[in-house]
């Protein structure tokens, strides 16, 4: 007989909020959503601040694994170490399903983690590691740079081996997309790669002359992805013509449209528009593209992803809520809507009876959301207990907030790591 337990708080469902409610979990599934059991009511009433119960977040596009492996140009950590560290971080940030976005940029890319053979090897390693002992669900998003002619066989192989769950077509050529400003791209290259102005000009000139995979070949790869049920995404859309071309190939997701009118056109064509949560929190795009908040206010955005900063997912939800968006709609941007775009909403993405119990308990402290518990498949994988810690220092008592985190890989009782979050 399976175990049964409850997660209590103000429950955010797709249709409303169940105040002072409880989600009943049995064998990893949600079996009931009801009033809070009597034994929890006194404790809940005494606690300060609203405790929310949200669905686990689904991140459609995260570059964070590349940085986890290679935090500095000369420092490359093993995939296995990087995977387990990333796994713990994501669990603590409330992301219960991640699509690691790994970029096949070029055979000889200056970034080691973006070379074709390296990306293939990393993907195969992640696939193996995620099946052994992980806190959350790890899925793979292949970013295919269409100037990378040598990558076509790799894309075919990874699709055929059913290694990837999402593929996006990218074009970072100068003069279009997010790099429609050559001067902006030049400054970025000088900063990222420590180039001189002359070196950046030389690289830009080379990139302007790069050949691209043909339209016919891209259509063929899109057809293969469709045959294997792998959602196709476009990237940095800057024109309606590009949207229409890729929609004919079965496009499902428009990532980071660079202009508001393109984002609106993408929604009108039935595409799921995905914007970056960091853009919401910071109030602007780091690439000088359309503001995600502006696009959301026009109803053009279906989902938010972490892009390059996973903590921004939950922060964006509460930022939008504090700025007038109903909590139900803000939560959908990081849960149900991305699940629908990726075709996994039958089991994941919302707090509904018979769905998988991926749940977060969250409370706001100083207008910053703080996760207290994370459940994946009904298992408590992360618990953070905030407390007051008195410390003697210089003849006086100093009191600070501290958070003790327990992370478990399998059940409530089995803890894989204990530590302190700084």
The string of pLDDT tens digits covering residues 60-102 is: 999 999 999 999 878 999 999 999 999 999 999 999 999 999 9
Helices (H) and strands (E) in the chain, counts: 15, 17
Percent of the chain predicted with pLDDT > 90:
69
* Residue of higher predicted confidence among 418 and 347: 347
182 inside domain: no
Nearest 5°: phi and psi at 85? -70, -45
- Non-local (6+) Cβ contacts of 290 within 8 A are 257, 258, 259, 260, 263
Is 228 part of any domain?
yes
Give the pLDDT confidence score for residue 413 in this predicted structure.
37
Q: How many domains, the chain?
A: 2
361: CATH: 2.30.40.10
At 195, the pLDDT band (50, 70, 90 cuts) reads confident
Report residue 112's pLDDT band, with 50, 70 and 90 as the boundaries.
confident
Same domain, 97 and 232: yes
Arithmetic mean of pLDDT, 398-411: 53
Q: Are 117 and 22 contained in the same domain?
A: no
The 10s digit of each residue's pLDDT in 293-351 is 999 999 999 999 999 999 999 999 999 999 999 999 999 999 999 999 999 999 999 99
Instruction: Give the three-class secondary structure for 215.
Output: helix
**Predicted pLDDT of residue 289:** 82
- pLDDT score of 177 more than 50: yes
More confident residue, 422 or 357: 357
Per-residue pLDDT at 50: 77
| Secondary structure element (H or E) that encloses residue 261, with its range | helix 260-268
Q: Over the stretch 211-246, which tens digit does the pLDDT of each residue have?
A: 889 999 999 999 999 999 999 999 999 899 999 999
Q: What is the DSSP letter of 113?
A: G
pLDDT confidence tier of residue 386, bands split at 50, 70 and 90: confident
Average pLDDT score, the chain: 87
Q: Is 68 strand, coil or helix?
A: helix
236 and 127: one domain?
yes
- 163/18 same-domain check: no
Looking at residue 350, what is its pLDDT? Answer: 98
User: Does a structural domain hold residue 187?
Assistant: no
412 domain-assigned: no
For residues 47 and 409, which has the higher predicted lDDT (pLDDT)? 47
Could you tell me if 374 and 384 are in contact, meaning their C-beta atoms sit under 8 angstroms apart?
A: no
pLDDT band at 45 (very low <50, low <70, confident <90, very high): low
Q: Is residue 381 part of a domain?
A: yes
> In this structure, are residues 325 and 148 in contact, taking their beta carbons and an 8 Å threshold?
no
Q: What is the pLDDT of residues 300-316, one digit of tens each?
A: 999 999 999 999 999 99
Confidence of residue 406 (pLDDT cuts 50, 70, 90): low
Rounded-to-integer distance, Cα 363 and Cα 370, Å:
5
- Same-domain status, 163 and 276: yes
Residue 377: which domain range? Answer: 4-55+352-387
Q: What is the pLDDT of residues 13-27, one digit of tens each?
A: 999 999 989 999 999
pLDDT at 200 over 50: yes
pLDDT of residue 391: 54
Q: For residue 44, what pLDDT band results from cuts at 50, 70 and 90?
A: low
Domain assignment of residue 13, yes or no:
yes
- Does residue 356 share a domain with residue 262? no
Mind giving me the DSSP string for 144-206?
A: EETT-GGGHHHHHHHHHTT--SEEEEE---TTSGGG--HHHHHHHHHHHHT--HHHHHHHHHH
What is the token pair recorded at 84? Answer: 């387990």
Say how far apart CA 105 and CA 108 lie, in whole Å.
8
Q: Are residues 246 and 367 in the same domain?
A: no
Please tell me whether residues 330 and 380 are part of one structural domain: no
Sign of CA dihedral 392, 395, 397, 398: negative
* pLDDT of res. 405: 59
In this structure, what DSSP letter does residue 106 have? B
Query: Is residue 18 located within the same domain as residue 74?
Result: no
Closest alpha carbon to 298 in 342, 272, 263: 263
* pLDDT at residue number 186: 66
Q: How far apart are CA 146 and CA 131, in angstroms?
A: 31
* Residue 103 pLDDT > 50: yes
Kindly indicate the confidence band of residue 203, based on its pLDDT and cuts at 50, 70 and 90: confident
Tokens of 98: 């991640």
At 117 the pLDDT is: 95
| pLDDT exceeds cutoff 80 at 59 | yes
Whether pLDDT at 292 is above 70: yes
CATH number at 118 reads: 3.20.20.140
| Structural contact between residues 284 and 291, judged by C-beta atoms closer than 8 angstroms | yes
Residue 43 within a domain: yes
Tell whether the model's pLDDT for residue 403 goes beyond 90: no
Q: pLDDT tier at 421 (50, 70, 90 boundaries)?
A: very low
Assess whether 115 and 248 both reside in one domain. yes
pLDDT band at 1 (very low <50, low <70, confident <90, very high): very low
234 within a domain of the structure (yes/no): yes
Same domain (yes/no): 29, 106 = no
Shared domain for 260 and 298, answered yes or no, is yes
Reported confidence tier of residue 367, pLDDT bands at 50, 70, 90: confident
Of 162-166, 220-224, 279-283, 395-399, give the lowest mean pLDDT range.
395-399
pLDDT at 395 over 60: no
């Amino acid at each position: 007989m399976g175990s049964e337990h409850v997660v209590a708080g103000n429950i955010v469902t797709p249709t409303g909020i169940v105040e002072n409610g409880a989600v009943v979990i049995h064998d990893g599934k949600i079996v009931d959503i009801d009033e809070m059991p009597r034994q929890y009511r006194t404790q809940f009433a005494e606690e300060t601040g609203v405790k929310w119960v949200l669905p686990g977040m689904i991140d459609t596009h995260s570059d964070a694994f590349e940085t986890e492996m290679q935090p500095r140009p000369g420092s490359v950590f093993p995939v296995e170490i990087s995977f387990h560290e990333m796994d713990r971080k994501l669990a603590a940030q409330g992301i219960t399903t991640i699509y690691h976005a790994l970029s096949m940029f070029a055979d000889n890319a200056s970034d080691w983690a973006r070379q074709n053979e390296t990306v293939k090897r990393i993907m195969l390693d992640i696939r193996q590691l995620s099946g052994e002992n992980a806190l959350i669900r790890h899925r793979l998003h292949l970013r295919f740079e269409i100037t990378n002619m040598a990558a076509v066989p790799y894309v075919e192989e990874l699709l055929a081996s059913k290694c990837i769950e999402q593929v996006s077509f990218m074009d970072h050529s100068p003069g279009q997309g997010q790099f429609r400003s050559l001067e902006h791209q030049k400054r970025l290259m000088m900063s990222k790669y420590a180039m001189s102005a002359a070196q950046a000009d030389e690289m830009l000139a080379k990139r302007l002359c790069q050949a691209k995979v043909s339209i016919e070949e891209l259509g063929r790869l899109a057809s293969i992805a469709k045959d294997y049920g792998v959602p196709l995404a476009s990237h940095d859309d800057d024109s309606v013509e590009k949207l229409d071309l890729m929609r004919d190939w079965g496009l499902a997701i428009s990532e980071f449209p660079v202009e508001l009118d393109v984002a609106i056109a993408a929604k009108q064509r039935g595409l799921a528009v995905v914007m970056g949560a960091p853009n919401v929190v910071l109030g602007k795009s780091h690439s000088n593209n359309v503001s995600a908040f502006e696009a959301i206010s026009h109803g053009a955005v279906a989902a938010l992803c972490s892009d390059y900063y996973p903590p921004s997912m939950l922060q964006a939800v509460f930022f939008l809520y504090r700025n007038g968006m109903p909590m139900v709609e803000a939560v959908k941007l990081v849960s149900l809507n991305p699940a629908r775009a990726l075709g996994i909403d039958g089991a994941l993405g919302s707090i509904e009876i018979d769905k998988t119990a991926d749940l977060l308990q969250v409370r706001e402290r100083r207008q910053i959301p703080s996760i207290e518990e994370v459940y994946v498949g009904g298992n408590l994988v992360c618990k953070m207990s905030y407390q007051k810690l008195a410390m003697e220092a210089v003849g006086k008592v100093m009191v600070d907030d501290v958070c003790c985190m327990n992370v478990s890989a399998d059940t409530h009782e089995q803890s894989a790591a204990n530590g302190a979050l700084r």
